[in-house]
């Protein structure tokens, strides 16, 4: 039977995925600050407390370290918690539980224990929330063996990847860009999964590869359409997962287009683009490059409160367009 496909927002797709997971497995519980009656800082949890009750949709005290610790312990003792941070910035308060406990328990106990916890992080700039509520910290956690770190860019993917994360035996960190929450797109009804380790080519091209993450995928696609009007065909890859990284898709694309531009919102230095660049430099694709690899990342500064400065601190469509055009024109 053919599956119906509707238009849902990114946040509606997350909420539907959590409901499906809770319907199919009584071990799945939701935890986080203000996710109960209030429905979550960004209203993503919504009315799930009315449908599943406070025993399965639990408000936690204002202690990210304590809440994350309870979620990790619950996962180790048989539950499947989905823990929501109000902002990804607050992960810094819970690093002990994420990095030293969740990521390492399987290895330190000889594989006798798994930690099937999912943590959700509203992330990124663009809401005027300033320096302490607008960061992109996915590269911090992607540096930690034992974690999976994903950045779904569409409503379809966030539902399928969240459902895959709930089934995974290891901790999965989901970074959700806040500006995507209202974005709508086609989402199939019912249960489906999207692999946690596969990138996807959003646009085929022959002249340049842009590897982008999260909301930058959409900005890269917009820039690619503008470049197409000048006869430049850009291939846009949505990385989707930053740990693990789908190296095969990246290498094959660069071997085809001979140029690579990495676009991401996190701070440029020591960011995702550095790792992608190194992957290509250490692969057979290096010999296919006709131009130096270019990284287009966030500025070396905390995210400003001023709206114009906030925009200037992260790559915009015009920046991607200009960088890509310089590369294909041989100006780099």
Per-domain boundaries in the chain:
5-188, 200-327
- How high is the pLDDT of residue 196? 98
- When pLDDT is cut at 50, 70 and 90, the band that residue 1 belongs to is low
**In whole angstroms, what is the distance from residue 39 CA to residue 72 CA?**
22
**Residue for token pair 């960011």:** 271
- When pLDDT is cut at 50, 70 and 90, the band that residue 331 belongs to is confident
User: Is the predicted pLDDT of residue 223 greater than 70, yes or no?
Assistant: yes
Distances (CA, A) of 316 to 151, 171, 277, 322: 18, 32, 21, 10
Nearest C-alpha neighbor of 84 from the set 47, 125, 126, 31: 31
**In whole angstroms, what is the distance from residue 36 CA to residue 60 CA?**
9
The stretch 233-252 carries a mean pLDDT of: 98
Residue 331: φ, ψ to 5° = -85, 0
pLDDT digits (tens, 9 = 90+) for 53-67: 999 999 999 999 999
Task: Report percent pLDDT > 90 for the chain.
Answer: 98
Nearest C-alpha neighbor of 23 from the set 195, 160, 191: 191
236 close to 213: Cβ distance less than 8 angstroms: no
**In whole angstroms, what is the distance from residue 67 CA to residue 135 CA?**
21
- Please give the mean pLDDT across all residues of the chain: 97
Two domains, one topology: 5-188 and 200-327: yes
**What's 200-327's CATH class?**
alpha beta
Nearest-10 Cα torsion for 248, 253, 259, 264: -70
Q: Report helix angle 272-281 to 247-257, nearest 10.
A: 70
User: Is the predicted pLDDT of residue 23 greater than 80, yes or no?
Assistant: yes
Task: Choose the catalytic residue: 16, 84, 133, 218.
Answer: 133
Annotated catalytic residue 133: yes
Query: CB-based contacts of 11: which residues, under 8 Å, 6+ apart?
Result: 42, 43, 44, 181, 182
- How high is the pLDDT of residue 20? 98
Annotated catalytic residue 112: no
Place domain 5-188 in its CATH homologous superfamily: Thiamin diphosphate (ThDP)-binding fold, Pyr/PP domains (3.40.50.970)
Pairing of strands 200-203, 234-238: antiparallel
**In whole angstroms, what is the distance from residue 62 CA to residue 73 CA?**
18
Distances (CA, A) of 99 to 76, 95, 144, 299: 15, 5, 7, 26
Distance of CA 21 to the CA centre of its chain: 20
User: Is the predicted pLDDT of residue 332 greater than 90, yes or no?
Assistant: no
Q: Report helix angle 155-167 to 10-24, nearest 10.
A: 30
3-state helix, strand, coil in the chain (%, to 5): 40, 20, 40
**In whole angstroms, what is the distance from residue 46 CA to residue 18 CA?**
11
pLDDT digits (tens, 9 = 90+) for 166-215: 999 999 999 999 999 999 999 999 999 999 999 999 999 999 999 999 99
**In whole angstroms, what is the distance from residue 264 CA to residue 128 CA?**
19
**In whole angstroms, what is the distance from residue 270 CA to residue 105 CA?**
27
Task: Choose the catalytic residue: 64, 84, 176, 310.
Answer: 64
């Amino acid at each position: 039977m053919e599956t119906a496909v509707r238009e849902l927002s990114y946040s509606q797709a997350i909420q539907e995925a959590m409901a499906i997971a809770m319907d199919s497995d009584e071990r799945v519980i939701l935890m986080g600050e203000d996710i109960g009656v209030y429905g979550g800082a960004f209203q993503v949890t919504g009315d799930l407390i009315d449908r599943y009750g406070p025993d399965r949709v639990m408000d936690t005290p204002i202690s990210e370290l304590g809440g994350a610790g309870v979620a990790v312990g619950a996962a180790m003792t048989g539950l499947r918690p989905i823990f929501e941070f109000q902002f990804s910035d607050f992960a810094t308060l819970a690093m002990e539980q994420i990095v030293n406990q969740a990521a390492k328990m399987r290895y330190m106990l000889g594989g006798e224990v798994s930690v099937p916890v999912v943590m959700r992080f509203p992330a990124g700039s663009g809401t005027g929330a300033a320096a302490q509520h607008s960061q992109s910290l996915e590269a911090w956690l992607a540096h930690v063996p034992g974690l999976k770190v994903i950045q779904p860019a569409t409503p379809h993917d966030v539902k399928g990847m969240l459902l895959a994360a709930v089934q995974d035996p290891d901790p999965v960190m989901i970074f959700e860009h806040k500006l995507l929450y209202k974005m709508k797109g086609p989402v199939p009804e019912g249960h489906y999964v999207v692999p946690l380790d596969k990138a996807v080519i959003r646009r085929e091209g022959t002249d340049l590869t842009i590897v982008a993450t999260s909301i930058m995928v959409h900005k890269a696609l917009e820039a690619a359409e503008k470049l197409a009007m000048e006869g430049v065909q850009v291939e846009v890859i949505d990385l989707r997962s930053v740990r693990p990284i789908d190296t095969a898709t990246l290498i094959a694309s660069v071997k085809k287009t001979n140029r690579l531009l990495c676009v991401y919102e996190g701070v440029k230095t020591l960011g995702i683009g550095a790792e992608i660049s190194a992957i290509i430099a250490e692969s057979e694709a290096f010999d296919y490059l006709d131009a130096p690899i270019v990284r287009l990342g966030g500025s070396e500064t905390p995210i400003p409160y001023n709206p114009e400065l906030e925009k200037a601190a992260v790559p915009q469509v015009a920046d991607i367009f200009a960088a890509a055009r310089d590369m294909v024109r041989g100006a780099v």
